[in-house]
């Protein structure tokens, strides 16, 4: 299932990464090499096999519904590259 | 004072308790060594001043008898563990100025046991790599290098090199596909990836959450037991951490392995494997046999598919985990025209090449139309790989394999760089263990004819690190490897 330049562009868009036009061809080829390799998995018969989602068989435990961390806006904002009035700053999104 | 850095953690603790040495002089000896060996590029952030304060506190505690299990032991911390107030970067430009406001559970456990933190150790960017060459801060140099600078392995390359070159008494590492075991093998030190769920992942920067596990890299097997005793345990902050009781791992050292069944997987005799490694593998089996173990042949038929499975699942999880780096809440921010451009600019300039490659692959295999063909298929093969181990463990108690099919290679090796798959293939013996969630240790077995360390791997049943420890202890004794 080889992919083309358009698919690379689309995937990069979804991943919020820019692939420069002059790197498109190279990226596609690398992509296809890796895909061709993982394609080997098709040989394996997986009829009636359940997907393994977690190796941990213990069931998740419920905890009491109470706040254990919070009210620390200062710490949460400590690494923000841009902040104002106790908020993260993003470019204007609503006209 | 330089001989102090030769001591193992167990030896240091004995001398500290007997007040033959002080924690301050021990810590200072490691700091001196860090300065002498800066050329290896093992540390990316230093914590010397704070470390000496911690050591002073440790000495006080030895004086008044309130010393804790690792009191005054100077550690290096892989720069993937969040350390409160101490820069944590994952060796990525995208968070190279990040100061955590909280401590990871594993490092908190170590601090609570009295450990001293010397600094943060280099790794492949976001732990994605097998040679430490993808680090934003440059590659780690293997301390065993002769004329040519060799890789230290990855992703915990800084941890393994720092332990080998005595720039810390022991180090923390993390292992998603071999990231503790492969660098440990390349640097002639010992490291264990415990069972998935043994150590809390809280505060460890996530790569692939269903595979990531923390573990120690140390000078010997006994030190690994001491460190893991402190690092492991249930944590309410990580829903995948296990409630299975943590035994005293040190209690397994020196235990008899008479009658223990050691499995040798047929499928691990792969083409193109270094002949010397095969010879050492036979030697390791011989050592265990002489100690009373029985060698049995086992089969892990889906071994061939472990790497392709891993390279679907790990990038898929990574692409999801790394979507949090958006230039808004922390890290690198490059403004643009609107929000989408802010995201794209920040991520494109912040991530390195290998990380971007994996995010793209992961995004693709999770995208509509391809999910079933790749991701779901890989999860099913993952089940078969785990079933292989379950079946094998009906015939044996522990599995013996080499850690890596090759010896440490040169930094910038052309073959490794021209095709990413060549680099991925080095993990052929380690990734299955993560896919199945098993504990596994790498320990040095001997030197190649080029004078470079080679490692053996022992794989245990889930939550049976004890058997891994007692087997490793016998193997270590028989191998008689001389540390650097």
Helix B353-366 × helix A5-14 angle, to 10°: 100
pLDDT single digits (tens) B290-333: 999 999 999 999 999 999 999 999 999 999 999 999 999 999 99
* A84 at interface of B, judged by CB pairs closer than 8 A: no
Beta-strand (E) ranges in B219-320?
Answer: 261-265, 294-298
CB B70, CB B169: distance < 8 Å? no
The interface pTM score, or ipTM, of the predicted complex is 0.95
In angstroms, the CA B296 to CA B66 distance is 48
Residue B443 has a pLDDT of: 98
With an 8 Å Cβ cutoff, are B348 and A18 in contact? yes
Residue B270 has a pLDDT of: 87
Mean pLDDT for the stretch of residues B452-460:
98
* B364 at interface of A, judged by CB pairs closer than 8 A: yes
Q: Which residues of chain A have pLDDT under 50?
A: none
| Residue of A15, A32, A48, A50 to mutate for B, most B C-beta atoms under 10 A | A15
By DSSP bridging, strand B261-265 and strand B398-402 are parallel
Residue B279 has a pLDDT of: 97
Q: State CA B470 to chain mean position distance.
A: 20
CATH class of B2-242+469-479: alpha beta
| Contacting A residues, span 9-48, partner chain B, CB-CB under 8 Å | 11-12, 14-18, 27, 30-31, 33-35, 37-42, 44, 46
Indicate whether A63 belongs to any domain: no
With an 8 Å Cβ cutoff, are B380 and A49 in contact? yes
- Smallest Cβ distance to B363: which of A1, A14, A72? A14
- Give the count of Cβ contacts less than 8 A between chain A and B: 156
pLDDT single digits (tens) B184-211: 999 999 999 999 999 999 999 999 999 9
- Smallest Cβ distance to A78: which of B101, B210, B332? B101
In angstroms, the CA B262 to CA B386 distance is 18
Residue B71 has a pLDDT of: 98
With an 8 Å Cβ cutoff, are A40 and B308 in contact? yes
pLDDT single digits (tens) B330-343: 999 999 999 999 99
Q: Name which of A25-34, B71-80, B284-293, B441-450 the model is least confident about.
A: A25-34
Indicate whether A57 belongs to any domain: no
At B344 the three-state DSSP class reads helix
CB B154, CB B123: distance < 8 Å? yes
> Which chain B residues are closer than 8 Å to A54 by Cβ?
210, 240
* B351 at interface of A, judged by CB pairs closer than 8 A: yes
CB B458, CB B192: distance < 8 Å? no
Mean pLDDT for the stretch of residues B256-284:
94
> Which chain A residues are closer than 8 Å to B434 by Cβ?
none
> Which chain A residues are closer than 8 Å to B308 by Cβ?
37-41
Both tokens assigned to B155: 């992703």
> Which chain A residues are closer than 8 Å to B239 by Cβ?
60-61
In angstroms, the CA A5 to CA B7 distance is 57
Shortest Cα–Cα distance, B363 to chain A (Å): 6
Residue of B nearest to A51 (CA): B380
B225: buried, middle or exposed (CB in 10 Å: 19+, 13-18, 0-12)? Answer: buried
Residue of B nearest to A87 (CA): B329
- Smallest Cβ distance to A44: which of B244, B327, B384? B384
Residue B313 has a pLDDT of: 97
Residue B412 has a pLDDT of: 95
Residue of A nearest to B383 (CA): A52
Bridge partners of B410?
Answer: B150
With an 8 Å Cβ cutoff, are A11 and B360 in contact? yes
B271 or B436, which is more confident?
B436
Residue B274 has a pLDDT of: 85
Mean pLDDT for the stretch of residues B2-22:
96
> Which chain A residues are closer than 8 Å to B367 by Cβ?
11, 14
Active site residue B179: yes
Catalytic residue among B12, B22, B33, B78: B78
Residue A61 has a pLDDT of: 80
Quick one: what percent of chain B has pLDDT higher than 70? Answer: 100
* B371 at interface of A, judged by CB pairs closer than 8 A: no
Indicate whether A9 belongs to any domain: yes
CB B35: neighbour CB atoms within 10 A?
A: 11
Indicate whether A23 belongs to any domain: yes
Reported as a pLDDT band with limits 50, 70 and 90, residue B2 is low
Indicate whether A71 belongs to any domain: no
Reported as a pLDDT band with limits 50, 70 and 90, residue B261 is very high
Indicate whether A22 belongs to any domain: yes
> Which chain A residues are closer than 8 Å to B384 by Cβ?
44, 46, 49
> Which chain B residues are closer than 8 Å to A53 by Cβ?
210, 379
| Residue of A51, A55, A88 to mutate for B, most B C-beta atoms under 10 A | A55
Task: List C-alpha distances in Å: B235 to A12, B293, B475.
Answer: 37, 36, 33
With an 8 Å Cβ cutoff, are A90 and B196 in contact? no
Shortest Cα–Cα distance, A35 to chain B (Å): 8
Q: Is the pLDDT of residue B64 over 70?
A: yes
CB B319, CB B362: distance < 8 Å? yes
With an 8 Å Cβ cutoff, are B360 and A82 in contact? no
Q: State CA B166 to chain mean position distance.
A: 17
Indicate whether A38 belongs to any domain: yes
Active site residue B78: yes
Mean pLDDT for the stretch of residues B415-425:
88
For residue A9, give its domain range.
5-43
Residue B125 has a pLDDT of: 98
Quick one: what percent of chain B has pLDDT higher than 90? Answer: 95
CB B476, CB B458: distance < 8 Å? no
pLDDT single digits (tens) B105-135: 999 999 999 999 999 999 999 999 999 999 9
Residue B146 has a pLDDT of: 95
With an 8 Å Cβ cutoff, are A15 and B360 in contact? yes
Cα dihedral B92, B97, B102, B107, rounded to 10, equals 50
Total structural domains in chain A? Answer: 1
Active site residue B12: no
Mean pLDDT of chain B: 97
Indicate whether A15 belongs to any domain: yes
Q: Is the pLDDT of residue B1 over 70?
A: no
In angstroms, the CA B284 to CA B264 distance is 11
Residue of B nearest to A49 (CA): B380
């Amino acid at each position: 299932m080889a992919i083309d330049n358009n698919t690379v562009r689309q995937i990069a868009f979804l991943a919020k990464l820019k692939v420069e036009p002059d790197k498109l061809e190279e990226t596609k080829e690398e992509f296809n090499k890796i895909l061709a390799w993982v394609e080997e998995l098709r040989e394996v018969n997986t009829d009636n096999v359940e997907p393994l989602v977690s190796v941990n068989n213990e069931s998740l435990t419920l905890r009491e519904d109470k706040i254990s961390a919070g009210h620390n806006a200062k710490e949460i904002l400590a690494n923000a590259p841009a902040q104002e009035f106790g908020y993260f700053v993003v470019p204007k999104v609503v006209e | 004072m330089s001989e102090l850095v030769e001591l193992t953690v167990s030896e240091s603790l004995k001398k500290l308790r007997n007040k033959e040495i002080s924690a301050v002089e021990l810590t200072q000896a490691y700091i001196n060594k860090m300065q002498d060996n800066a050329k290896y590029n093992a540390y990316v952030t230093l914590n010397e001043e704070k470390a000496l304060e911690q050591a002073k506190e440790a000495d006080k505690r030895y004086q008044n008898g309130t010393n804790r299990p690792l009191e005054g032991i100077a550690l290096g911390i892989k720069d993937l563990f969040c350390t409160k107030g101490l820069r944590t970067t994952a060796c990525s430009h995208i968070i190279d100025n990040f100061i955590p406001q909280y401590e990871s559970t594993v490092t908190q456990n170590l601090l609570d046991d009295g450990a001293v933190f010397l600094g943060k150790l280099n790794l492949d960017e976001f732990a994605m790599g097998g040679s430490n060459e993808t680090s934003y801060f440059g590659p780690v140099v293997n301390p065993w290098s002769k004329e040519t600078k060799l890789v230290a392995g990855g992703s915990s390359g800084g941890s393994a090199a720092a332990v080998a070159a005595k720039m810390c008494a022991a180090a923390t590492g993390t292992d998603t596909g071999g990231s503790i075991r492969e660098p440990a093998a390349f640097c002639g030190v010992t490291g264990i990836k415990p069972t998935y769920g043994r150590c809390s992942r809280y505060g460890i920067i996530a790569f692939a959450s269903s595979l990531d596990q923390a573990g120690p890299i140390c000078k010997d097997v006994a030190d690994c037991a001491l460190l893991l005793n402190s690092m492991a345990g249930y944590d309410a902050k990580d829903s995948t951490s296990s409630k299975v009781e943590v035994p005293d791992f040190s209690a397994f050292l020196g235990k008899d392995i008479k009658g223990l069944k050691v499995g040798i997987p047929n499928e691990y005799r792969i083409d193109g494997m270094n002949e010397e490694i095969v010879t050492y593998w036979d030697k390791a089996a011989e050592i265990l046999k002489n100690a009373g173990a029985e060698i049995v042949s086992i089969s892990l038929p889906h071994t061939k598919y472990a790497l392709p499975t891993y390279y679907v699942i790990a990038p898929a999880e990574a692409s999801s985990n790394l979507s949090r780096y958006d230039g808004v809440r922390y890290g690198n921010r490059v403004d643009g025209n609107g929000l989408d451009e802010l995201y794209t600019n920040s991520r494109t300039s912040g991530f390195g090449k290998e990380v971007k490659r994996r995010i793209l692959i992961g995004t693709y295999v999770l995208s509509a139309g391809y999910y079933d063909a790749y991701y779901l298929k890989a999860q099913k093969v993952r089940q078969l790989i785990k079933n292989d181990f379950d079946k094998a463990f009906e015939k044996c108690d522990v599995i013996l394999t080499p850690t890596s099919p090759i010896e440490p290679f040169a930094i910038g090796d052309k073959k490794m760089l021209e095709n990413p798959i060549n680099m991925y293939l080095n993990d052929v013996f380690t990734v299955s263990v993560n896919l199945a969630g098993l504990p596994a240790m790498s320990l040095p077995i001997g030197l190649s004819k080029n004078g470079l360390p080679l490692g053996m791997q022992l794989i245990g049943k889930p939550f049976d690190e004890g058997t891994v420890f007692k087997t490793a202890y016998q193997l270590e004794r028989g191998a008689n490897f001389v540390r650097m």
